[in-house]
Amino acid sequence: MSGSNDFFKSVDDAISFLWKQDVLSRKSRTNLKTSLAVQVIERTSQNQGLNEDQLLGLIDLACSRLYGDAVSSKLVKSLIPKNRIPSLALVKAISWISTNKLSISLQALLVRWILVVYQLLDDITPLQALYGVLFLFLESDVLCPLVCQLLSYITRKEDVKRFRIKRILNLQNRVGTQAHLNGLLSIYKMHASNLVAMTTSVSKVWFKKRDSAWSDKIWQVQEKQFSLEPVNKLFLEARLGIPGSPAQKKRKAGHITIPSLQCSSMSASLEGDFNVTIKQLESFSDLVANIDRVELPSQIASVLESPFLQHVISCNPSYVTLQRLNFWLSHTLFEEFLSGDETVVGSSHARMLLLLIQLGEFIQESVPAVEMWLGRYLFSWSGAHHRPLVLKLITQISLQPFAKLYEFALEPLRKLFFSSPVYFKCQVMYCLTELLRNFVLFELPRHEELSKRRKANSNDASSSLFLDEEMASFDPQLAIYEYIKFVDRLSAVALQAEGDHALLQHHVLEFFELVSVLQTRFQIGFVVIPCASVVYRLLFASNAMAVSRFLAIMVNYRSSFESLKKSTVTFETSVPDSFQSIQQLNQFILDTCDSMWRNKAFVNRDGESCYALPGSVRDNLSLGHINEAFTVHNHVAMVGFAWKFLHETQPEDLPLNPRLIKGRVRHAYMEYLRRQGLLGIHSFMKTFIRHKI
């Protein structure tokens, strides 16, 4: 390789040589100088990229037919920019393709290059002006898949015409149903649904992933260039949101490319009647004043990194805009997470998931394309890759019939849950708790609002961006009820499998702490109590934290049933009557009082108690004071507190025994537990045994 530097000191020298070389030397396949010149261009472009003049010159050279396709292809693949791609370069490439002088393979390579560098264009307007020219290339069987993908990037509402739709349909009749043609038609349907009758699906990947290695080389050059730029320039670009800012260049070094903010170069005054671009808005006040005139960028996916754009789609939603976002997310997520190598985990994948989480938190609902991808991804997810981010995305999914929710999200989680260590179980339990919180805070009010609008035939603006007015009707409260019962069963088995691990107990308690206040805080029309297995595992837990929090939950349930009884609101739901479970709750409370306060843990109450030991078994145990085994001073979780209380309050010469805690001493002991932070125990006894406290 060092010999090439002896002939050519720079890329410009190599390009100049290739232009001036005589005809006979060009046609020679063994011409050493030609090979060395191409090597210099390849090496320089891959190491530091080419400037705008070099790119323009190299396009003309590669398309001039001075050399064969082998050399020309190498030159095209060397079109790696140092910074941005001038729009003139794309105009030149398309002009050369239109001359029909190039071989079909070289034409296809040029279109592939345009697709690879599309995100680096300095201005998309000239490319949009050539929409009609590009559309003519659909007649080529080789170029058609590539051009369809390019057209899907730049299609605007004004580009959707009847004659173009008819041309695509005729083409389908000739070549059969093709994914790329359906993809372009689906884009047209987003902009003009009245012109396209086909049924589209955002879960379909219409366009194949191409040229990953070529794309990686380009982003590596961009990353190198970023590290060499002066600090003051980087700060200015980051502050003003100029394309090519540090954050954008860092993400481009990864595998997933988030489009930069690109709007039409045609500017309009803020005082006029025309649309304004996001770059013309200098403050939030400008955004509010022009919210209905903002022109969205050609790549709607840039909304992921633009708070201004997120405000625009939230305050002034458009069906076309939301479908464009859905389409891009569907294509990108399926392509990068499902179609590629599952073992490849890049920082750009994590960044993509983080941006989706931030978008969901901002609009307070889930994007349909993300849910559809998540439903597919969870079935192949190992539980290790991007675990916190994937679980966070699950907490944002929309409320839907339980059968559907179980199929696409809960069942894959359940399989991972029982085949993973306790710490993963805890993360899943936290995820399920936050998902329930999302249901009752955002999703249920949204569904109730939609139901009221349907009954009143109202055309008022909806609080949801994506909730379909024509969606299948279902009972949202029943879905939440069945979801809680599912997590209840999951918790019971998990506690048994992990031997009542303290950390798992914490997350199970956290879930039921939320469940126990659903009626009082969120006016849910039902109350769900935990199953007996969960209740007694927590009541007889070996740590005081679990016991105290469980007793506080019992107090919450009492308040919830009282609130439900007083409620005058009627709910149209098929949830079982909650008052049918009052008897079981009362039995839980009675068992707890008998065990912890009345010294009757195993006294036979004619079979009414939820747990009991047969008399024959109890007698054979030969244990003294067995009915006092779970009192507030003998309970395995409380005995340490009892000993410390006696040590602080009793004379030093008195032998310490938990049985000393009785009468007035027991009242002082309860106050001691309250000061130790075990508020649940004190609250439970004060609520249900008032005359004793």
Question: In this structure, are residues 6 and 40 in contact, taking their beta carbons and an 8 Å threshold?
Answer: no
Residue type, 224: K
C-alpha 96: how far from chain center? 42
SS3 call for 640 = helix
The sign one gets for the Cα dihedral 519, 524, 526, 532 is: negative
pLDDT of residue 426: 95
CA distance 17 to 579: 90
CA distance 246 to 249: 5
Instruction: Name the stretches of the chain with pLDDT < 70.
Output: 1-8, 22-31, 198-205, 225-275, 277-282, 298, 339-346, 456-463, 467-472, 601, 604-626, 690-693
Residue 517 CA neighbour count, 13 Å, CB half: 12
Determine phi and psi for 465, rounding to 5 degrees: -85, -35
Question: In this structure, are residues 296 and 321 in contact, taking their beta carbons and an 8 Å threshold?
Answer: yes
Residue type, 326: N
Question: In this structure, are residues 264 and 295 in contact, taking their beta carbons and an 8 Å threshold?
Answer: yes
The sign one gets for the Cα dihedral 340, 345, 351, 357 is: positive
pLDDT of residue 447: 85
Count other Cβ atoms within 10 Å, centred on residue 78.
23
pLDDT of residue 234: 34
CA distance 62 to 386: 43
Buried b or exposed e, range 415-426, using 16+ CB within 10 angstroms: ebbeeeebebbb
CA distance 146 to 318: 28
CA distance 155 to 632: 72
SS3 call for 475 = coil
DSSP labels, 137-167: GGGSTTTHHHHHHHHHHH--GGG--HHHHHH
First-residue to last-residue Cα distance in the chain: 91
What tokens were used for 385?
Answer: 């890759």
What tokens were used for 246?
Answer: 């540090």
pLDDT of residue 185: 86
Angle made by CA atoms 656, 660, 665, in degrees to the nearest 5? 120
CA distance 295 to 308: 12
The sign one gets for the Cα dihedral 644, 646, 650, 652 is: negative
C-alpha 54: how far from chain center? 41
Which residues lie below 8 Å from residue 580, measured CB to CB, with a gap of 6+?
A: none
Instruction: Classify residue 469 by its DSSP letter.
Output: T
Which residues lie below 8 Å from residue 230, measured CB to CB, with a gap of 6+?
A: none
Instruction: Classify residue 488 by its DSSP letter.
Output: H
Which residues lie below 8 Å from residue 113, measured CB to CB, with a gap of 6+?
A: 76, 77, 79, 93
What tokens were used for 225?
Answer: 């260039």
CA distance 33 to 296: 50
CA distances 203 to 121, 206, 419, 466, Å, are: 28, 9, 29, 15
What tokens were used for 335?
Answer: 């392509």
As beta bridge partners, residue 121 has 85
Question: In this structure, are residues 278 and 293 in contact, taking their beta carbons and an 8 Å threshold?
Answer: no
DSSP labels, 196-257: --S---TT---S----HHHHHHHHHHHHHHHHHS-HHHHHHHHHHT-TT-HHHHHHHTSSS-
Residue range 647-668, pLDDT digits in tens = 888 777 777 777 777 778 888 8
pLDDT of residue 431: 96
CA distance 602 to 615: 9
pLDDT of residue 23: 66
pLDDT of residue 279: 67
